[in-house]
């Protein structure tokens, strides 16, 4: 019996489906079917193999359930993306005599993320955990911290981290990824440095999170150091790490290095391809993005998903390929049976608006089966500004103000639109409304409009002026940034885009205030 139990456990770990089902057959044949331990192991096996229906069937066929069988199925739902079912099953468990233990809590807390009332569920479970005395279990703490971070409650995550006396690698990983996901990238870097000082060995999880942070910050210098660490650790084989590397190099402006990483990867998956296409799209090399995509379709039998189409359509946007964009959008449904979601509609709307066809863009917003979100309205508003469209601009600005009354940007843009069209009274009204609501531009930030295709959101207060002066200002600001953040590539790329006045390019470049850790070596001997 013990042998069977261990064998099933191994099958679960190695996803050995064929052996697992043979053991199940043998169990039925030899009358072990009612054994609690074996049945629990079986639930775990089916759940881990993704056969959640079979796991449920075994579970409901059991005469009694213990902590392990409950937990195995709860964890099974959670890891198969059915968090809702995991929570429901947990509630069912609470009505029985079997008490959840720390295994149950770490599973059910992980299931909370991406649920509707995630934060509420998570806090409730946190209270349970304290009451039942599991708050020192490192698995429970990590899942709680992760859940808080994913609910954007980074302060709660940090509190949990600080309260924990024995911090292990996984706890560091949880907070580093939390910082990175919430765009506290610099804090992620700092924590990584601290982790290394404590001689905690990074894992593949650490690397993918920290590379992600480097991507957000566009710090190539640090990214390259980490790349050498990746190679030293042999982590190039991990697709999570590889994808973070490709993304980091793309965001940092070294798209050719991103391509080299991709080419050197033996087993490429759709995330890697999509990252690469998006990389080309974002740096303005739209044709190369489409070339790669078309090559994948014809030569590799590649089946694109929604995200991939977002990347392809983004490439069309940035390169100004209106007809091609519409063609790909239609192909989604006709060739691949994918119904476009909000993001692909967003791209198409963006594409029309960019081309000055604001009416068509607006019609699409009304036709599509989704409510336009903040992203879509913001992009639409900025094109109303570029094309001097007052009525639609006003509507867009009002929508955005309704969604987020404390964001100053739509007010400022609307005032610009009015002023450009000589509507001075209306412009003054918007400004006084802003004053009444005590809204101002975030300190140290301002919009710089380079020409009608290139916008830069940068540091420094630059007065509105003509193109040449703006280039000079840009250079001053961004050369300063090169010094601060040590990322010549992204900056050079930005200046190149700006000075070439490429048609159809719109670039929003966000950079934070000078980095504290930017010039510190992240790894020894890197």
Query: Hey, which residues between 105 and 164 contact DNA (CB under 7 A)?
Result: 106-107, 110, 137-140, 142-143, 146, 150
Under rule CB under 7 A, residue 212 binds DNA = yes
Site for DNA, residues 42 to 61, rule: CB under 7 A: 44, 48
Asked if 413 touches DNA (CB under 7 A), the answer is no
Determine the Cα–Cα distance for residues 414 and 420; give it in Å rounded to an integer: 10
235-264 positions binding DNA, by CB under 7 A: 238-241, 243-244, 247
Please report whether residue 313 would count as binding DNA according to CB under 7 A: yes
State in angstroms the smallest separation of the CB of 313 from DNA. Answer: 6
Considering only 4-12, 86-94, 329-337, 517-525, which stretch makes contact with DNA by CB under 7 A?
Answer: 4-12
Distance from C-alpha of 188 to C-alpha of 211, rounded to nearest angstrom: 10
Question: Closest approach of Cβ 375 to DNA, in Å?
Answer: 5
Across 282-339, the runs of DSSP E, i.e. the strands, are: none
- Using the 8-state DSSP alphabet, how is residue 19 labeled? H
Q: Of the two residues 181 and 427, which places its CB atom closer to DNA in the complex?
A: 181
Q: Which of residues 164-203 bind DNA (CB under 7 A)?
A: 169-171, 173-174, 177, 181, 203
For position 205 contacting DNA by CB under 7 A, the verdict is yes
Closer to DNA by CB, 217 or 427: give it.
217
Question: Closest distance between DNA and the C-beta of residue 274, in Å?
Answer: 3
Among 153, 218, 314, 399, binds DNA (CB under 7 A): 314
Quote the distance between the C-alpha of residue 118 and its chain's center.
18
Scan residues 453-492 and list those touching DNA (CB under 7 A): none
Q: How far is the CB of 391 from DNA (least distance, A)?
A: 21
Q: Does 505 bind DNA (CB under 7 A)?
A: no
Binder of DNA out of 30, 269, 287, 513 (CB under 7 A): 269
Contacts of 373 (CB under 8 A, 6+ apart): 342, 346
Among 20, 346, 393, 458, binds DNA (CB under 7 A): 346
> What are the structure tokens assigned to 116, written together?
């509707």
Contact criterion met (CB below 8 Å) for 112 and 79: no
- Joined together, the tokens standing for residue 31 give 């009358």
329: tokens are 């959008």
- Cβ(71)–Cβ(78) below 8 Å: no
Please tell me whether residue 218 binds DNA under the rule CB under 7 A. Answer: no
Burial class (CB in 10 A: 0-12, 13-18, 19+), 193: middle
Pair of tokens at residue 513: 């205030």
Total residues binding DNA (CB under 7 A):
85
Residues with Cβ within 8 Å of residue 138, at least 6 apart in sequence? 164, 166, 168, 170, 171
| Residue at token pair 């193109």 | 467
| Residue that the structure tokens 């969604």 belong to | 403
Q: Applying CB under 7 A, which of residues 79, 88, 183, 338 lies at the interface with DNA?
A: 79
| Chain-centroid distance, C-alpha 207 | 16
User: Least distance in Å: CB of 173 to DNA?
Assistant: 3
Torsion 92-98-100-103 (CA) sign: negative
Q: Residue 352 or 418: which CB sits closer to DNA?
A: 352
């Amino acid at each position: 019996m013990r042998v069977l139990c261990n064998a099933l456990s191994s099958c679960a770990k190695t996803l050995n489906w064929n052996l697992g089902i043979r053991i199940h057959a043998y169990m039925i044949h030899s009358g072990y079917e009612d054994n609690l331990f074996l049945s629990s192991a079986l639930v775990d096996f089916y759940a881990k193999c993704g056969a959640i229906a079979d796991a449920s069937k075994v579970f409901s066929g059991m005469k009694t359930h213990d902590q392990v069988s409950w937990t195995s199925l709860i964890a099974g739902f959670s890891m198969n993306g059915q968090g809702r079912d995991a929570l429901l099953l947990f509630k069912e468990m609470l009505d029985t005599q079997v008490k959840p233990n720390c295994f149950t809590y770490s599973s059910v807390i992980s299931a909370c993320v991406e649920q509707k009332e995630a934060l509420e569920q998570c806090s409730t479970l946190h209270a349970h955990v304290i009451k039942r005395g599991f708050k020192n279990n490192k698995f429970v703490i990590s899942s709680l911290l992760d859940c808080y971070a994913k609910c954007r409650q980074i302060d709660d995550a940090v509190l949990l981290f600080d309260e924990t006396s024995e911090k292990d690698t996984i706890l560091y990983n949880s907070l580093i990824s939390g910082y990175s996901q919430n765009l506290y990238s610099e804090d992620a870097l700092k924590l990584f440095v601290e982790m290394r000082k404590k001689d905690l060995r990074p894992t593949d999880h650490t690397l993918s999170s920290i590379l992600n942070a480097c991507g957000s910050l566009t710090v190539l210098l640090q990214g390259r150091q980490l790349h050498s660490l990746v190679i030293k650790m042999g982590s190039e084989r991990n697709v999570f790490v590889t994808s973070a590397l490709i993304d980091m190099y793309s965001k940092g402006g070294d798209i050719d290095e991103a391509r080299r990483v991709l080419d050197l990867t033996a087993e490429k998956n759709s995330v890697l391809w999509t990252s690469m296409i998006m990389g080309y799209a974002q740096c303005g090399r739209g044709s190369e993005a489409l070339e790669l995509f078309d090559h994948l379709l014809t030569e590799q039998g590649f089946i694109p998903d929604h995200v991939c189409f977002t990347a392809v359509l983004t490439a069309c946007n940035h390169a100004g390929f209106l007809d091609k964009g519409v063609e790909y959008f239609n192909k989604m449904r006709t060739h691949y049976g994918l119904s476009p979601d909000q993001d692909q509609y967003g791209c198409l709307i963006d594409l029309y608006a960019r081309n000055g066809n604001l009416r068509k863009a607006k019609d699409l917003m009304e036709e599509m089966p989704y409510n336009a979100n903040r992203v879509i309205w913001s992009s639409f508003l900025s094109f109303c500004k570029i094309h001097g469209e007052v009525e639609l601009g006003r509507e867009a600005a009002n929508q955005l103000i309704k969604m987020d009354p404390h964001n100053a940007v739509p007010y400022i843009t609307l005032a610009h639109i009015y002023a450009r069209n000589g509507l001075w009274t209306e412009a003054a009204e918007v400004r006084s409304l802003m004053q009444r609501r005590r809204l101002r531009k975030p300190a140290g930030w301002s919009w710089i409009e380079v020409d009608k295709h290139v916008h830069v959101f940068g540091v420094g207060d630059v007065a509105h002026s003509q193109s040449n002066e703006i280039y000079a200002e840009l250079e001053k600001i961004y050369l300063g940034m090169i010094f601060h953040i040590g990322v010549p590539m992204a900056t050079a790329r930005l200046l190149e885009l700006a000075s070439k006045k490429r048609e159809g390019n719109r670039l929003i470049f966000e950079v934070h205030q000078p980095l504290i850790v930017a010039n510190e070596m992240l790894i020894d001997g890197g």
